[in-house]
Amino acid sequence: MPEFRKDPLLGRWVIVARERGERPASLRFENSEEPLAPADDPFSEGNERFTPSEVYALRSAGSVPNGPGWQLRVVPNRYPALRVEGELDPASYGLYDRMNGVGAHEVVIETPDSKLAFADFSLSQISRVLEAYRQRIDDLYRDIRLAHVLVFKNHGREAGATQQYSHSQIIATPMLPLRLREELNSCLQHWRLKRRSLFMDILSEELRMRERLVFENEHVVAFCPYAGYSPFEVMLIPRVQSADFRKASPAQLEAVAEALKTVLAMWRSALGDGAWNFMLHTAPNAASLAAPEEEFPGYESFFCWHLEMFPRLTTSAGFEWGTGMHINPVPPEEAAAALRAAEVAV
Amino acid sequence: MPEFRKDPLLGRWVIVARERGERPASLRFENSEEPLAPADDPFSEGNERFTPSEVYALRSAGSVPNGPGWQLRVVPNRYPALRVEGELDPASYGLYDRMNGVGAHEVVIETPDSKLAFADFSLSQISRVLEAYRQRIDDLYRDIRLAHVLVFKNHGREAGATQQYSHSQIIATPMLPLRLREELNSCLQHWRLKRRSLFMDILSEELRMRERLVFENEHVVAFCPYAGYSPFEVMLIPRVQSADFRKASPAQLEAVAEALKTVLAMWRSALGDGAWNFMLHTAPNAASLAAPEEEFPGYESFFCWHLEMFPRLTTSAGFEWGTGMHINPVPPEEAAAALRAAEVAV
């Protein structure tokens, strides 16, 4: 069973989840990453028996669950960092604090085409992936043990991907993650001072200054954040304050798909092909035992869902680990200008 | 001029430091890392003219500053993330906050032997490196603009090293870095509750439980932290409460050198050769304008200098970036047992 352990010095939870297998990969420096032959790939169509039973799927008429004939599947991770079974059972361990690793860890198999890269998906394929995220968050938020769901995508080995097959991941945690809590806290302080959404204030500022804008359409705006931690980092937020990604309309999801595909095409044009991550932050589970409304009263009015995405151009080194401070070698204004100048057709 | 920019959502400072050169390395995904020929390497003996003037050196009798004949040199970084010139000049920029990138960024050239890896240094060589750290922190703390000095080492490309030549880095910042502030804060809360040093309580617990111990000698103890964020992470702390690394005695530095070399040998034996980082946390500059004593009164009694070190076995992926939470696939007890079992001769 995975467990949560609290770091007494940094005051944060760490997940200790033992790898399966005789010799865990992280017991050696060598890192084998052979692409799997489609016949051996558990994500491939026809190999559904190698994954746990699907919890969501888009299927052709007449196909049956956990068989072929799908456009997209969501399945529990075979090697989950957190598990849905059981209770947290918080306990002390000598001086320390621990809890069982309760949560959820799912994989979104985004396409039956094992060779197709996410950046080459059609807009409607990307929209379907986003709709799957929406549905899964909605389903997971029915579990009152789960305080938050993070959806993220690791593309390429430097971004932490262990499989080449295009997929994303969903991890639900019983506590609010530190980053989300920091964002909620900044937004709460801003709200108390100004009665305004910090996200919408940032959006107004970016639309006024324009120098960090990357892309905009009717529903969403993409820009390089003023104090981005990573070169060419992009934030994507809706034009209208909305805390909960579950409430995104089909038109909004299509707009996000267009922005996402455009930014990926801009990166490719400006930087070449490489590894990248995106992370979707949405409102916590109001119905959960973590009771986020008590800690951040009114967050529906001032927190806003958003997508953070960055190409893996730099490596976190001793300075970043030792200080928590990042060095960004490309001013966001210059990154945005380079991206705007990229010729892309989406 | 580099600048500090404050992230309004996470409330933290980011350093924006434009890379020099026509085309910054981080403007493309490709990463060339050819080892330099000794004749071209600015760190090599005989090439002292390629570095800024040394601020500290261990030299043979009769040698002159910035010439050959040294055992160790400390020089300002040619491409500094922060610069010693000027004032912070904090200012708003629309909604945002910025300051000039004032600070210091130095490089410790640890050996005149361009091929020698740190893990193969003699104990007295490592002691000399540690003594250089001590001296540089002491000198930098005479500048009241500097609140803290972080010393760190990146070994190998995955650890963020851009040069193979054995070196470490020193970065002084005008504010307390987030990680140090988190540690100071945890220690302050613990002190207020219990009037004890949290570091010394952790040390007692580790010495009592023993399952995470890796190495101990007369002056220092090395162990895998209970909630380590990274597999095979090791923390090294002195046996006796001491906030300030500048006060470490020659005997303590020798003991740290022995522990450091032993852990590196254990990693090599258990994991093979690979990339790793270490970071030295020491007390903030009491005399600085940041006035750490006001924020953390009495920290000399409850903060303790320590060395954090970890091999680069895992990659921070979307989950870690999106949550600030880490997944450690090797329970620290198992990592410690594997390291203790490694046969090493130091």
Report the residue of chain B nearest A184, measured CA to CA. Answer: B9
- pLDDT at residue B22 is higher than 50: no
The reply to whether residue A29 touches residue B169, judged by beta carbons under 8 angstroms, is no
Phi and psi, residue A338, nearest 5°: -65, -40
- pLDDT at residue B24 is higher than 60: no
Mean pLDDT of B149-172: 95
Residues of B in contact with A231 (CB under 8 A): 26-27
pLDDT band at A24, cuts 50/70/90?
A: low
Residues of A in contact with B338 (CB under 8 A): 27
A105-119 CB burial, b ≥16 within 10 A, e <16: bbbbbbbbbbeeebb
Question: How close, in Å, is residue B164 to chain A by CA atoms?
Answer: 15
Closest CA to A163 of A43, A76, A67: A43
pLDDT band at A40, cuts 50/70/90?
A: confident
Mean pLDDT of A283-297: 96
Residues of B in contact with A277 (CB under 8 A): 317-318, 321
Closest Cβ–Cβ partner in A94, A202, A314 for B8: A202
Tell me how far apart the alpha carbons of residues B199 and B300 are, in angstroms, rounded to a whole number: 12
Phi and psi, residue B306, nearest 5°: -165, 165
Tell me how far apart the alpha carbons of residues A294 and A290 are, in angstroms, rounded to a whole number: 9
Closest CA to B279 of A323, A80, A288, A159: A323
Q: What is the pLDDT of residue B174?
A: 97
- pLDDT at residue A98 is higher than 80: yes
Percent of chain A with pLDDT over 90: 90
Q: How far is CA B272 from CA A26, A341, B318, B342, in A?
A: 11, 45, 27, 11
- pLDDT at residue A120 is higher than 60: yes
Closest Cβ–Cβ partner in B183, B330, B332 for A26: B330
Q: What is the pLDDT of residue A22?
A: 46
Phi and psi, residue A340, nearest 5°: -60, -30
CA atoms within 13 A on the CB side of A235: 24
Closest Cβ–Cβ partner in A15, A273, A313 for B327: A15
The reply to whether residue B9 touches residue A315, judged by beta carbons under 8 angstroms, is no
Q: What is the pLDDT of residue B30?
A: 63
Residues of B in contact with A281 (CB under 8 A): 322
Measured N-to-C along each axis, helices A123-140 and A250-271 cross at an angle, to the nearest 10 degrees, of 120
Question: How close, in Å, is residue B238 to chain A by CA atoms?
Answer: 16
In order of their start, the domains of chain B are 39-79+103-341 (3.30.428.10)
ipTM: 0.94
Where does residue B193 fall: left (phi above 0), alpha (psi -120 to 50 degrees), or beta otherwise?
alpha
Tell me how far apart the alpha carbons of residues B315 and A179 are, in angstroms, rounded to a whole number: 18
Number of neighbours of residue B341 by Cβ within 10 angstroms? 10
Instruction: Give the sign of the dihedral formed by CA A128, CA A82, CA A143, CA B318.
Output: negative
Q: Name the DSSP class of B161.
A: -
Report the residue of chain B nearest A304, measured CA to CA. Answer: B9
The 10s digit of each residue's pLDDT in B287-331 is: 999 999 999 999 999 999 999 999 999 889 999 999 999 999 999
Task: Report the run of H or E that residue A143 belongs to, with start and end.
Answer: none
Tell me how far apart the alpha carbons of residues A311 and A276 are, in angstroms, rounded to a whole number: 4
The 10s digit of each residue's pLDDT in B192-247 is: 999 999 999 999 999 999 999 999 999 999 999 999 999 999 999 999 999 999 99
The reply to whether residue B29 touches residue A274, judged by beta carbons under 8 angstroms, is yes
Percent of chain B with pLDDT over 90: 90
- Return the minimum-mean-pLDDT range out of A79-83, B30-34, B205-209: B30-34
Mean pLDDT of B159-172: 94
- A vs B, Cβ pairs < 8 A, gives 293
CA dihedral B205, B211, B216, B220 (to 10 degrees): -40
Q: What is the mean pLDDT of chain B?
A: 94
CB B322, CB A152: distance < 8 Å = yes
Residues of A in contact with B93 (CB under 8 A): 226
pLDDT band at B338, cuts 50/70/90?
A: very high
Percent of chain B with pLDDT over 70: 96
The reply to whether residue A186 touches residue B158, judged by beta carbons under 8 angstroms, is no
Q: What is the pLDDT of residue B31?
A: 54
Question: How close, in Å, is residue A123 to chain B by CA atoms?
Answer: 22
Q: What is the mean pLDDT of chain A?
A: 94
Mean pLDDT of B327-336: 95
Closest Cβ–Cβ partner in B8, B18, B329 for A26: B329
Chain length of chain A? 346
Report the residue of chain B nearest A95, measured CA to CA. Answer: B205
Mean pLDDT of B6-29: 78
B237 or B21, higher pLDDT: B237
